[in-house]
């Protein structure tokens, strides 16, 4: 006998669904890690940094350039998808070329 990992209900060894909570108790097959090509991400990083530097003399735009750039860097570093809204904000407020590179990336969003 085995137990449901979600509700603790006792299950038969061959059970794939818990009869009490209805959740699947069968182990999920391991999916192979997909290696992402981060070349567009690296190009986008360079242009986002350049966009921050170019707009830095105005000081006020840095209030939105830096947080957008830092958020994109964190997503790329952690291998998380960059949201479409963040990509569009990078395009409009930080760097046109960097934003286009981000929008062309295939990261699952």
Question: Quick one: CA dihedral 34, 37, 41, 46, positive or negative?
Answer: positive
Does the pTM surpass 0.85? The reply is: no
pLDDT at 27: 67
pLDDT (tens place) for every residue of the chain, 109 residues total: 788 888 888 888 888 888 888 888 876 566 555 555 678 888 889 998 888 888 877 777 778 888 999 999 998 888 888 899 999 999 998 988 898 889 998 765 4
Residue 23 domain flag: no
Number of domains in the chain: 1
Instruction: Specify the pLDDT at position 74.
Output: 92
Residue 2, classed as helix, strand or coil, is strand
What residues make up the domain containing 59? 39-104
Contact by Cβ (8 Å): 50, 56: no
pLDDT value of position 65: 87
CB hemisphere CA count around 78 (13 angstroms): 9
Residue 84 covered by a domain: yes
In a domain, 96, yes or no: yes
């Amino acid at each position: 006998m085995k137990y449901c990992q979600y509700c603790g209900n006792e299950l038969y060894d061959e059970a794939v669904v818990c009869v009490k909570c209805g959740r699947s108790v069968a182990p999920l097959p391991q999916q192979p890690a997909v290696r992402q090509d981060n070349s567009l991400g690296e190009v986008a990083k360079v242009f986002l940094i350049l966009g921050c530097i170019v707009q830095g003399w105005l000081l006020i735009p840095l209030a939105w350039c830096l947080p957008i750039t830092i958020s994109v860097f964190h997503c790329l570093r952690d291998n998380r998808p960059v949201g479409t809204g963040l990509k569009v904000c990078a395009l409009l407020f930080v760097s046109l070329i960097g934003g286009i590179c981000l929008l062309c990336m295939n990261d699952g969003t």
